[in-house]
A and B are shown apart, each in its own frame.
Chain A
Amino acid sequence: MEGAAVSVLPDDVITRILRRLPARSLAVSRHVCKAWQTIIDDQQLLLQLRQLLLHAVGGIFINYIDHDRPHFFTRPTLTPGPRIDGEFLLVECGEEPWEWYRVQDHCNGLVLRSADNFSDDNMYVINPATRKWDHLPPCGDDEWNRRAFIVFDPAVSPHYEVFMEPSEDVMSPPSWTWHVLSSTTMRWGAELHVWLRVRPHPRVTKLSLANDTYYTIIKSPIDLAECNGGVRSFIGKSKDGVYFAALDNKARLRVWTLSESADKRTTEWLLKHQSALNPYAWSMNIRENDDPQQRTYTGPWNMDVCDDRMTNDNAYYDSEYNKEDWDSDEDNILDVPSNEKEEEEEDDNDYFEIVDFLGFHPYKEAIFLEGA
């Protein structure tokens, strides 16, 4: 049997081999030949590995209302890998250094960055890990005032799409026009029309990207009275799909997951977690140091340089905790020790200013919170 044998092996033998590959090798193998690509796509081998593809959280971006740019927080790690450019220094945008910008949205490692100014020429899609970036063409004059969302799933396609919310007040008109940009063409177009039945807030809308005539409005798990009462809500994607979190001004946290019936016609919010946060106990983890630049935390988060005049992007804070990789499970603030007596007393404190919700962990059931 002379050479060339693997290319003539039966499909199920090839499948058996490919199933043993880690995610990245499998993604590469898709390009070996047409037959392998067909096998990988038909059997959805990459989709089955989706959980493994998203194997690391490099850090989190936090937008500030009083800083000119978002800051990137990382945990010290010993795992070799591409250093993440949290400042987007790689983007050659020719902007003036004092230009303000923020992170609009992110999806599976891609970050949608936009400027805070009124220019219509300021959106970038950046992969901070691979250092690839795209400058998006302008969408319209009022783009700065519209929310944009990015959709990207490397297990399905190397291409991404950006959705631009309609500028009109979505509560009143009967139709809702979204602009869509696909990285295959890098052009805005293929407007997605959604016919809207007006329902009272709060609600969650699900758009089907495959078929623009299909959409669903899903009632949110909290009602209007709670919204008016100051409950803040957050929606995101995590381990098992769509998650909804609500934080009231007593720092009581509730998290639901969206459960869909097999035919996707009926949905239900399942309460997954309910607890009262104790943000005062979190501060016990801070090691005091008068110089804010030197202050570190137990279970430290390293912040990219605060001083924007510094351009040395290696100027990350050192930490003595550089000994092992970070695991989000170790940072469980729900279990921080607290003074039980205090808890028994009637708590009249208003936590509104103290706890804020940052986001959902993309593939573990964890959330990121901020305690002021």
Chain B
Amino acid sequence: MAAPESGDGNNGAARMVTLISSDNTRFEVEAAAASLSQTLQLTILDGGGGGGDGIPLPNVDSATLSKVLEYCIKHAPAAANGGAPNATAVDRAELERFDNEFVNIDQSVLYSLIMAAHNLEIEGLQSLVAKKVADMIKGKSPMEIRRTLGFPDPTPEEQAEMNAHMLEYGWAYE
């Protein structure tokens, strides 16, 4: 039975891939970490990203990509264990601590991260940032939500709608 020809194999250092951000910065990471992205996974399985080629990511700037890779590198070992069924409680607590700290960031960074997680289809990161935004919404009125999330000022139509809502559900905010 012939072993499949693949870069990483079992002999020595882990296989590395190169990612290129929109502003042409090159990032070299382990294939296992980059593969948390569903979008990149297929390319990497096909042998892409190795050597001097690199995978261009025209939608992600270097600041965001470096943040995304920080997440991927941290989560790659647990993901390799198939969702880490045998991870210890300490490991899980450590990941949780990392996640909480990770999204404790400026809103503009958070939005870039949301888009990157979406475009690169990184399931865990998508959930993490969605939870962060949901937490920012909870317990607020429509107007407060708009302000918190940096919506533009409401149109007169939207303002009327929100006023009507306050009349109808005003008790909910007491």
Q: A interface vs B, CB < 8 Å?
A: 1-7, 9-10, 12-13, 16-22, 24-25, 27-29, 31-34, 82, 130-132, 158
Contact = CB atoms under 8 A, between A and B. Distances in A.
Contacts of A131: 171
Contact of B152 (A7, A12, A13, A34): A7
A66 B162 CA distance: 47
Contacts, number: 86
Chain B contact patch, size range: 20 to 34
Contacts of B131: 20
* Closest 8 A/B residue pairs (Cβ): A5-B111, A20-B134, A3-B150, A6-B149, A31-B165, A31-B142, A16-B130, A17-B130
B130 A25 contact: no
B115 interface: yes
Contacts of A158: 168-169
A261 B139 CA distance: 40
Given A5-B150, A16-B126, A33-B151, A22 B138 contact: yes
Nearest to B165: A31
A4 B150 contact: yes
A19 B168 CA distance: 24
B52 to A, nearest CB: 31
A28 B133 contact: no
B114 A32 contact: no
How would you classify the secondary structure of chain B's contact residues: helix, strand, loop or mixed? helix
B142 A28 contact: yes
A29 B141 CA distance: 8
Nearest to A3: B150
B145 interface: yes
Contact of B133 (A4, A6, A7): A6
A16 B151 CA distance: 18
B108 A32 contact: no
A252 to B, nearest CB: 44
B137 interface: yes
A29 B137 contact: yes
B160 to A, nearest CB: 11
A10 B127 CA distance: 15
B112 interface: yes
Interface in B58-106: none
A344 B91 CA distance: 60
Given A16-B126, A32-B142, 5 more contacts: A4-B152, A7-B152, A13-B118, A82-B171, A131-B171
Contacts of B162: 31
A21 B151 contact: no
Contacts of B168: 158
Contact of B137 (A2, A25, A33): A25
A102 to B, nearest CB: 26
Contacts of B140: 25, 28
Listed residue (B112, B134, B141) with the most chain A CB atoms within 10 angstroms of its CB: B134
Contacts of A24: 172
14 contacts: A1-B108, A5-B107, A5-B108, A13-B114, A16-B130, A19-B130, A24-B172, A28-B169, A28-B172, A29-B137, A32-B146, A33-B154, A33-B158, A130-B171
